[in-house]
A and B are shown apart, each in its own frame.
Chain A
Amino acid sequence: MNAMQPPPKLKKLSLKERYAHLTRELGWKTTYQPMDKVFPYAEYEGIKIHDWDAWEDPFRLTMDAYWKYQAEKERKLYAVIDSFAQNNGHLNITDARYVNALKLFLTGVSPLEYSAHRGYAHVGRHFVGAGPRIACQMQAIDELRHAQTQLHTMSHYNKFFDGLHDSRHMHDRVWYLSVPKSFFEDACSAGPFEYLTAISFSFEYVLTNLLFVPFMSGAAFNGDMATVTFGFSAQSDEARHMTLGLEIIKFMLEQDEANVPIVQRWIDKWFWRGYRLLALVAMMMDYMLPKRIMSWDEAWEMYFEQAGDALFNDLSRYGIRKPKYFEVASKEKHRLSHEVWATFYNYTQATAFHTWLPSEEEMKWLSAKYPDTFDRLYRPRFECWRAMEEKGNRYYNPTLPQLCVTCQIPMIFTEPDDPTTTCFRATEYKGERYHFCSDGCKDIFCYEPEKYVQSWLPVHQIYQGNCGGADLKDVIAWYHINFGVDNFDYTGSPDQKLWDEWQLQRSSNPV
């Protein structure tokens, strides 16, 4: 018999060899074209890299292992989402007001996950070293997965609640969503090193806990097990992303001393941009969760002041100091959430989620958490609005607000040392005036005015006639917000009506 001989068994590769073959050895020096033509974005930002192989990859993850881990997580997540849907999990949330936090997340954050996917795919192509390229490519896939799992998880709520039907479209058009959108577009249109400093370091490393912990703990506290599960599913990815964030900073700083001032300027810029973006989270924590986790003030102390101190102490040996204006952010921690919630209360006629006045019990919580500011400055505002509401005249601000050219948030913030006076900063560039909410936003503009003179400011776009028409109803329709359904106060909304009916049924059919 001529039985076929089995091929000789090859020696199994050691982990180290596998890692080398599947990551570092995927790169090569080009011969048909010069390297700088193949990697045209590697040097223009002024960052000097002498040895790309000095890049450390603490996870040493290879693509085959990556697929295996992710597939396992995916199976678990979809099992939970299915059971949540089959058991009508939405009935177990604390209150329908909670869903408004999800509306904010789906329209404001999930599209950023998708933008991050695109951003990492782009920079993953443009780094010269194979180490950072592979790390960026894996993160690009993670981010796409996060966008997908968030959409899938929240699609269950879309069957019952309003405002969740067109998040992608809204992200590109709705006035308050220009804040997260412009944040990410600023990063994606920067060079690869600035992009990683912006997203991997400043956002994923320094500020991420202030975004994900509040939303995921908020979900857990308010009975939303579906959202908690995608949070868990993303958590191990986030750990990898944070490591990439710290690694890129250390890599740049160790490669050349000339990189230090460039990196410092990016840290300053992206700390401030990220902090301004988190204003939405501050409001969510203090006002939108029916059952609260902790106050914004407490979260800022724990996740930025304490954790940030340790981080920047560690980086000081490279000549890096704390981000500029961190002290302004700390001064604002007693007022941020109140100023932002008041803004959305002003303009709920143009939002895809509902707002409401805090109840007396909620105001007690706010007084206790903000003893220096709440009763003195913000309670009177709410009481005044309550009185108007009781007269059947719920307050809506009828005029469009002035916006900051950099962060695109309405000019609502107050002077760092005086919470009763609005903070105005301005500059002139090529004979034209530009306005800012803070020194942080003004500095960012003044360093690269050519970039920000292009800001797509929703208020000015409405006036220029680019947003579907001149009337509120026209603009709302152009946003794909259903007038009288998705917008206006929670009181009297279809969401509230439906929720109240469910509660009534539940109490009349005790199980």
Chain B
Amino acid sequence: MTVTAIGPYEFKSRDHVDNFHGNRVVYWHWEEHLMFCAAIALMLPPAMPFGEVLGNVLPGCYGMHPEFSQIVWPKVTWMLDSRPFKPDMEAGLAANHVGHKSLLRFWTPGLHGLGGAVV
């Protein structure tokens, strides 16, 4: 048993993918830009093309940062769930193996945050 309990103790996970109306929660984190205090959680359809997230969703999340518009996406370094990763911009999230509660961390070359302080 994985818990100290007085009887059988089995529960379905509260954040199972079935509970998100056909969407997936995906976490994104722009490294070296801690003005955004934590990685962000987005609820996205699994078929949404990777490039569409970058072009249409992330600007609403990070666009107020003066460095965001300078990002050259093809040069960005990615990690998907702790493994190096090269996204296929045309393919959907699921086809890119971005699963429910996957974490995407990205590093933007030449852009290391404001004031020399990863802001």
- Interfacial chain A residues near B105, Cβ < 8 Å: 424
Question: Within 8 Å of chain B (Cβ to Cβ): is A494?
Answer: no
Q: A46-B4, A399-B40, A424-B105 are in contact. Are A464 and B13 (CB under 8 A)?
A: no
- Interface positions, chain B 47-97, Cβ under 8 Å from A, are 60-61, 64, 81-82
The 0/1 profile, CB within 8 Å of B marked 1, for residues 413-424 of chain A is 000000011101
- Interface positions, chain B 6-64, Cβ under 8 Å from A, are 6, 9-16, 19-21, 23, 25, 27, 29, 31-32, 34-43, 60-61, 64
Question: Within 8 Å of chain B (Cβ to Cβ): is A177?
Answer: no
Q: A377-B117, A450-B2 are in contact. Are A384 and B35 (CB under 8 A)?
A: yes
- Interfacial chain B residues near A381, Cβ < 8 Å: 34-35, 115, 117, 119
Closest residue on chain A to residue B12 by CB atoms: A453
Question: Within 8 Å of chain B (Cβ to Cβ): is A376?
Answer: yes
Q: Is the CB of B35 within 8 A of A339?
A: no
Q: Is the CB of A432 within 8 A of B36?
A: no
Q: Is the CB of B101 within 8 A of A376?
A: no
Closest residue on chain B to residue A405 by CB atoms: B15
Q: Is the CB of B25 within 8 A of A463?
A: yes
Question: Within 8 Å of chain B (Cβ to Cβ): is A395?
Answer: yes
Q: Is the CB of B34 within 8 A of A376?
A: no
Closest residue on chain B to residue A434 by CB atoms: B101
Measured in the bound complex, the distance between the Cα atoms of B27 and A38 in whole Å is 48
Question: Within 8 Å of chain B (Cβ to Cβ): is A380?
Answer: yes
- Interfacial chain B residues near A403, Cβ < 8 Å: 41
Closest residue on chain B to residue A377 by CB atoms: B117
Q: Is the CB of A422 within 8 A of B14?
A: no
Closest residue on chain B to residue A466 by CB atoms: B19
Listed stretches A113-121, A223-231, A454-462; interface member = A454-462
Q: A399-B42, A400-B41 are in contact. Are A422 and B4 (CB under 8 A)?
A: no
Question: Within 8 Å of chain B (Cβ to Cβ): is A218?
Answer: no
Q: Is the CB of A401 within 8 A of B41?
A: yes
Q: A380-B115, A397-B36, A420-B32 are in contact. Are A453 and B14 (CB under 8 A)?
A: yes
Q: Is the CB of A463 within 8 A of B43?
A: yes
Q: Which of B6, B15, B64 contacts A395 (CB 8 A)?
A: B64
Question: Within 8 Å of chain B (Cβ to Cβ): is A130?
Answer: no
Q: Is the CB of B32 within 8 A of A380?
A: no
The smallest beta-carbon distance between B36 and chain A, in angstroms, is 6
- Interfacial chain A residues near B42, Cβ < 8 Å: 399
Measured in the bound complex, the distance between the Cα atoms of B9 and A199 in whole Å is 24
Interface size of B as a range: 35 or more
Question: Within 8 Å of chain B (Cβ to Cβ): is A168?
Answer: no
The SS class assigned to the B binding surface is: loop
Q: A433-B100, A453-B11, A464-B19 are in contact. Are A412 and B2 (CB under 8 A)?
A: no
Q: Is the CB of A433 within 8 A of B102?
A: yes
Question: Within 8 Å of chain B (Cβ to Cβ): is A398?
Answer: yes
The 0/1 profile, CB within 8 Å of B marked 1, for residues 336-350 of chain A is 000100110010000
Q: Which of B40, B82, B103, B114 contacts A380 (CB 8 A)?
A: B114
- Interface positions, chain A 277-299, Cβ under 8 Å from B, are none
- Interfacial chain A residues near B34, Cβ < 8 Å: 342, 381, 420, 422
Q: Is the CB of A456 within 8 A of B119?
A: no
Question: Within 8 Å of chain B (Cβ to Cβ): is A40?
Answer: yes
Q: Is the CB of A401 within 8 A of B38?
A: yes
The smallest beta-carbon distance between B58 and chain A, in angstroms, is 9
Closest residue on chain B to residue A456 by CB atoms: B14
Q: A397-B37, A424-B105, A426-B103 are in contact. Are A384 and B119 (CB under 8 A)?
A: yes
The 0/1 profile, CB within 8 Å of B marked 1, for residues 70-91 of chain A is 0000000000000000000000
- Interfacial chain B residues near A456, Cβ < 8 Å: 14
- Interfacial chain B residues near A190, Cβ < 8 Å: 4
Q: Which of A45, A402, A430, A449 contacts B40 (CB 8 A)?
A: A402
Q: Which of B1, B21, B38 contacts A411 (CB 8 A)?
A: B38
Q: Is the CB of A380 within 8 A of B14?
A: no
Q: Is the CB of B4 within 8 A of A448?
A: yes
- Interfacial chain B residues near A465, Cβ < 8 Å: 21
Q: A343-B37, A401-B38, A401-B41 are in contact. Are A460 and B6 (CB under 8 A)?
A: no
A-B pairs with the 10 shortest C-beta distances?
A: A380-B115, A380-B117, A401-B38, A410-B38, A399-B40, A453-B13, A402-B39, A399-B61, A450-B3, A433-B101
7 CB < 8 A contacts A-B: A44-B6, A190-B4, A377-B117, A380-B119, A393-B64, A424-B105, A426-B82
Residues of A within 8 A of B (CB): 40-41, 44-46, 190-191, 194, 339, 342-343, 346, 376-381, 383-385, 388, 393, 395, 397-403, 410-412, 420-422, 424, 426, 430, 432-435, 448-451, 453-457, 459-460, 463-465
Known A402-B38, A460-B20, A463-B25; further 4 A-B contacts with Cβ < 8 A: A343-B37, A376-B117, A380-B117, A384-B114
